[in-house]
Amino acid sequence: MVLSRISAANTPATGPGRVRAPASVMGVLSAAGVLLGALALAGCQSAGPHDFGNDVDRAMGSEANISSLSSVVNQNPSDASGYNVRGTALGRAGRYDQALADFNRAIEINPGFYQAYSNRALVLRNLKQNGQALSDYNRSIELNPSYNEAYVGRGNLYRSQGQIDLALNDFSKAIELEPTDPKAYNNRALIYQGQGRHDDAIADFTSSMTYAPNAVAPHQGRGLSYLATGDYKAALDDFNAVVRADKDNYQGWTNQGLALEKLGERDAAHNAFARAQTLNPGYPPARDGMRRTAKAGA
């Protein structure tokens, strides 16, 4: 679940890997079946670098929108912002090579376009060119040290490479620059969670929800930290919120089952695990949960 988004800002001036939790916590988190990796506020808790925003944002990647943006670019071939916006749309459509070409052109036209550097960095991550991505994030920050999106993106990259202290510093800087950025809170919470700092993680997940009230990922993450601290009722409330918002979220159903199991509601837990198993047959945490909660002789 990485929380970074390509910026469509048109005024040049705007994951993978996982955090390893301590052994004492891993049993709970493994049973819950949720990776402590990069989260996307748009949905997946373990989304890789290809996080380009929520479902509304992804409409920007529609063929109709890209066609319209291409008309704008053709009419204004020397406008760097046009290439940046179209590159954003192409990135959200998963057309990374074409997006890269557009960001290259935007930077060629305007070498000081810090948003385009940050956007290109995210595309480069999706193309598994992490060294070049880091250079672009660094350049974006050099051009505008107050651009919080670049800190979020670079933090995700650092985390994917196991450079946790650097990632934590970047997420904290992003929050300092933009105290209402849900991505930065969510991503920092994941680091705290992986370090066993669950009270800090819960606080950050809660802040993320404040600024992105419809997001699923912070509920999933906060629920895991509640599980780890033994607050099973609070965990259940969060996992209930996950499956209400996304009925096909098999990890949410699995986690709901685990919370119910901890609360002694074995039948309800079994049903939740079964729902997860239906959505993702063979998913080990759901399968194991069904076995634990099966009625004797069943």
Is residue 213 domain-shared with residue 269, that is, in the same domain?
Answer: no
Is residue 118 domain-shared with residue 237, that is, in the same domain?
Answer: no
Looking at residue 91, what is its pLDDT? 94
Higher pLDDT, 7 or 270: 270
What is the tens place of the pLDDT at every residue in 141-197? 999 999 999 999 999 999 999 999 999 999 999 999 999 999 999 999 999 999 999
For the chain, counts of helices (H) and of strands (E): 16, 0
Is residue 27 domain-shared with residue 126, that is, in the same domain?
Answer: yes
Banded pLDDT at 296 (limits 50, 70, 90): low
pTM tops 0.75, yes or no: yes
Is residue 156 domain-shared with residue 173, that is, in the same domain?
Answer: yes
What is the tens place of the pLDDT at every residue in 237-254? 999 999 999 999 999 999
Is residue 137 domain-shared with residue 41, that is, in the same domain?
Answer: yes
Looking at residue 51, what is its pLDDT? 55
What is the tens place of the pLDDT at every residue in 174-189? 999 999 999 999 999 9
Residue 177 C-alpha from the chain's centroid: 19
Cα radius of gyration (the chain): 20
Tell me the pLDDT of the chain averaged across its residues: 85
Banded pLDDT at 2 (limits 50, 70, 90): very low
**Residue 99 covered by a domain:** yes
Question: Of 229, 253, 278, which one is at a domain's C-terminal end?
Answer: 229
pLDDT at 46 > cutoff 80: no
Structure tokens at 253: 């159903």
**Residue 13 covered by a domain:** no
What is the tens place of the pLDDT at every residue in 102-138? 999 999 999 999 999 999 999 999 999 999 999 999 9
CATH code, domain carrying 182 = 1.25.40.10
Is residue 124 domain-shared with residue 241, that is, in the same domain?
Answer: no
| Nearby residues of 163 by Cβ (< 8 Å), 6 or more positions away | none
pLDDT at 255 > cutoff 50: yes
**Residue 129 covered by a domain:** yes
Structural domain including 78 reads: 23-229
Is residue 249 domain-shared with residue 297, that is, in the same domain?
Answer: yes
Report the domain count for the chain.
Answer: 2
**Residue 15 covered by a domain:** no
Give 144's DSSP letter.
-
Is residue 147 domain-shared with residue 179, that is, in the same domain?
Answer: yes
Helix intervals (H) in 144-283: 148-160, 164-177, 182-194, 198-211, 217-228, 232-245, 250-262, 266-279
Q: Counting every residue, how long is the chain?
A: 298
CA distance 246 to 264: 25
Looking at residue 14, what is its pLDDT? 35
Is residue 125 domain-shared with residue 136, that is, in the same domain?
Answer: yes
**Residue 263 covered by a domain:** yes
